Amino acid sequence: MAKYITMCEVGTRDGFQIEPEFIPTDLKIEVVNRLSATGIPRVEVTSFVHPKAVPQLRDAEEVMARIERRPGTVYAALVPNDKGAKRAIDAGVDKIHTVLSASESHNLANVNMTVAESLAKLGEVAHVAHEAGVPLQGGISCSFGCPFEVEVPLKNLEAIVARLVDFGFQAIGLADTTGMANPAQVRRTLEYLRPKFPDIEWTLHTHNTRAMAIPNILVAVECGVTHFDASIGGLGGCPFAPGATGNVCTEDLVHCLHAMGYDTGIDLDALVEVSRRVQEIIGRELPGQIMKAGQWNRRYKVPRAVEERLAALAS
Ligand code: COA
Ligand code: ZN
């Protein structure tokens, strides 16, 4: 049986959050519904943050309330603090994804807290989530580098993971927020962290800012990681990280994994259709390549002259 890779679609959160024009709530709901209909097992639908920080996602409650809940699909949302966690739980999320940054400067820019203050808040989030019986995944932005500080020591990352594990987080998402990671570094980081926290489910959250997202993911697969975030069409970017651009493109990654013989449970043709629809909604071309090139086994018509030569050869 083909090895199964679990994809989490983050386009309607990480992608839409950076779009300057407000995307009508009905269209956000349409995209979530169409994404889950492709068989994507997990969707990070929206975020419960301060509406002034990310005005685009100020309709988080309404989106959560009105999406169709496909049985078996996990509908998650991102939260920075206990207030966000309470809002997310009231809105009926299946899972809470938290956010803090491994770098002090990016954490202050993103959530107006020091790393220590964020960790204290995430302790409260864990309390609220455990009471409600909602599972937790701790996302760590700038795990592989920070746009302000550049180097992020592995020891700092380890200390943050240790605190989240102490709080009872079952899953950790290592985020390469501005596409600074390279495959050798991803291998080094995973080989260092995974044995120290053997019971944790690891997710890699990549941005393709420097064209290293898929190479990084393939190395992570070799290291045993089976969970990946991606954005439809390659949407995405953190509004509080200079130079941030889109996530790895979901359909390009799914195409690569399927071509290599992995199973994702996703209907790739349907995914490409959603990507085209998202392009229409946001009114510009997205970086996704498969929707332009077609799949690897796309067969073009042979030119007439070549057809004649082939026919002559065959006779
Ligand atoms: N949702 C809605 N409102 C929130 C909130 C949340 N999750 N967290 C705090 N607030 C409200 C508080 O209730 C308070 O309201 P009041 O003034 O009416 O009492 C106000 O915001 C200030 O609270 P405070 O804790 O001081 O927050 P802050 O102003 O320092 O902002 C964050 C901190 C985390 C809420 C804000 O920086 C944020 O939402 N950042 C999100 C960043 C993001 O989404 N980045 C991209 C994803 S990686
Ligand atoms: Zn991201």
Condensed to tens digits (0 to 9), the pLDDT of residues 22-37 reads: 999 999 999 999 999 9
Ligand 2 midpoint to CA 311 (Å): 53
Q: Cα dist. 129→71, 72, 106, 258 in Å?
A: 22, 20, 25, 35
Separation between Cα atoms, residue 134 and residue 120, nearest integer Å: 19
- Identify the nearest ligand to the CA of 178 by its number: 2
Q: What is the pLDDT of residue 290?
A: 98
Q: Which ligand is nearest to the CA of 99?
A: 1
| Nearest ligand to the CA atom of 18 | 1
Nearest CA to ligand 1 atom 4: 50
Q: Is the pTM of this model over 0.75?
A: yes
Q: Is 219 helix (H, G, I), strand (E, B) or coil?
A: helix
Question: Residue 176 Cα, ligand 2 centroid: separation in angstroms?
Answer: 7
**Hey, which residues does 146 pair with through a beta bridge?**
150
16 CA → ligand 1 middle, Å: 19
Across all residues in the chain, what is the average pLDDT? 97
φ, ψ (nearest 5 deg) of residue 157: -60, -45
What mean pLDDT is predicted for residues 216-225? Answer: 98
Taking the CA of residue 139 as reference, the ligand 1 atom at the shortest distance is 48
Q: Which residues pair with 140 in a beta bridge?
A: 100, 174
Instruction: Find the range with the poorest average confidence among 1-10, 90-99, 179-188, 198-207.
Output: 1-10
Question: Please, what is the angle between helix 250-259 and helix 268-282, to 10°?
Answer: 160
Residues flanking ligand 1, CB < 6 Å: 17, 47-50, 53-54, 80-81, 83-84, 87, 99, 110-112, 141, 238-240
- Cα of 3 vs centre of ligand 2, distance in Å, is 26
Cα 127 versus chain centre, distance: 25
Q: Please write the tens of the pLDDT for every residue from 125-160.
A: 999 999 999 999 999 999 999 999 999 999 999 999
| Residues known to be catalytic | 238
Pocket test for ligand 1, best of 13, 50, 79 (most atoms within 8 A of CB): 50
